[in-house]
Amino acid sequence: MYAEHSMRAELLALLAGLERAKQIGIGKLIIHMNNKTCIQLVLEEQLLSNDLRPLVNRCRVLMQERRGLIRLEHTHRESNRGVDWLANRGVNSEIQPIILDSPPPELRTILREDILGVATPRVIAS
């Protein structure tokens, strides 16, 4: 249940971003996501649950409208810390999606470190 809820949230975020990019006229777009399964659902023909199918199909349509101008790539959570921070704040939130004009104060430090190229080591348990 949690995995499908998480996938739905990721797909909704992707869809909102694609729609917003189209709305404001962004031409080329590279989207970094840390959920490989979500990327595979959108980029590859796979059997989908009925709940996720409409979201995936809408994302595919928006990407195909600008064939070759939108790229969806995997990135590890550590190199996508700002998005991870926002996702963790929104996962239990009941509010509707919002567009921020500026980052919340707590997020500014993460973004500043990203701009400065501060490394965040990836811990891998063996």
CA-closest candidate to residue 71, choices 32, 100, 36, 97: 32
Statement: residue 97 has pLDDT above 80? no
Residue 18 pLDDT class (50, 70, 90 cuts): very high
Sheet strands (E) in the chain: 29-33, 70-74
Query: Which whole-number Å values give the CA distances from 120 to 78, 82, 113, 116, in the listed order?
Result: 6, 12, 10, 12
Model confidence band, residue 103 (pLDDT cutoffs 50, 70, 90): confident
How much is the average pLDDT of 78-84?
Answer: 76
What is the structure's pLDDT at 15? 93
CA atoms of 9 and 20, how far apart (whole Å): 16
pLDDT at 92: 60
For each of the domains in the chain, give its residue range(s) and CATH number, in order of start.
2-116 (3.30.420.10)
Token pair for residue 16?
Answer: 């909102």
3-state secondary structure of 22: helix
